[in-house]
Amino acid sequence: MRRGEVWLVSFGATVGDEIRKLRPAVIVSDEGVGVLSLKVVVPLTKWQDRYTERKWMVSLEPTTENGLIKRSAADAFQINSVSTDRFLRQIGTLSETEMQAIIKAIALVKAIELLPGSSIKIHDISTGKIPIKKAPSVTAGENSTSE
């Protein structure tokens, strides 16, 4: 199981608005990160026109490489760690361009500011060379208010 692969994942029991049921998901975690049998994934769902205005939803067209059978959306807001026991079968692999779009959507959701014009390659996480603007450091209690 490698970064960029699309797998059919059984999300099983859920609560509230969490993504549910059996659906494709793309692995976004690097193989070199973590010691547990977990992968960080972004689930995919059927594309709907209303997603056009939602910058965290990445449109994916079906191709023979990605194995999707209909236009889909990678929902970066639903990024999650899941057990590899939930992975049923690989259905495809996303392109570098598709992965870059998903990483940018994750950065938006997680409030990480990427440097303008930066290009993120699939191997960037493992090499630690992701171009990210560093936020000013904050000392504990510096931004807290007391009344």
Report yes or no on 135 lying in a domain. Answer: no
| Cβ–Cβ < 8 Å for 36, 1 | no
Domain membership of residue 88 as a residue range = 5-127
Q: How many domains does the chain have?
A: 1
Residue 27 has pLDDT above 70, yes or no: yes
End-to-end CA distance of the chain: 51
Nearest to 56, CA basis, from 7, 122, 111: 111
Report yes or no on 10 lying in a domain. Answer: yes
- pLDDT mean over 9-38: 79
Report yes or no on 117 lying in a domain. Answer: yes
Residue 34 has pLDDT above 90, yes or no: no
- Cα distances (angstroms) measured from residue 106 to each of 2, 56, 67: 18, 7, 22
- pLDDT mean over 16-39: 81
Report yes or no on 142 lying in a domain. Answer: no
Report yes or no on 94 lying in a domain. Answer: yes
Q: What is the pLDDT of residues 62-109, one digit of tens each?
A: 999 999 999 999 999 999 999 999 899 999 999 999 999 999 999 888
- pLDDT mean over 1-17: 82
CATH code of the domain in which 95 resides: 2.30.30.110
Report yes or no on 22 lying in a domain. Answer: yes
Lowest mean pLDDT among 2-11, 64-73, 93-102, 122-131: 122-131
Report yes or no on 104 lying in a domain. Answer: yes
Tokens of 78: 């639903």
Q: Which carries the bigger pLDDT value, residue 115 or residue 38?
A: 38
Report yes or no on 136 lying in a domain. Answer: no
| Cβ–Cβ < 8 Å for 104, 120 | yes
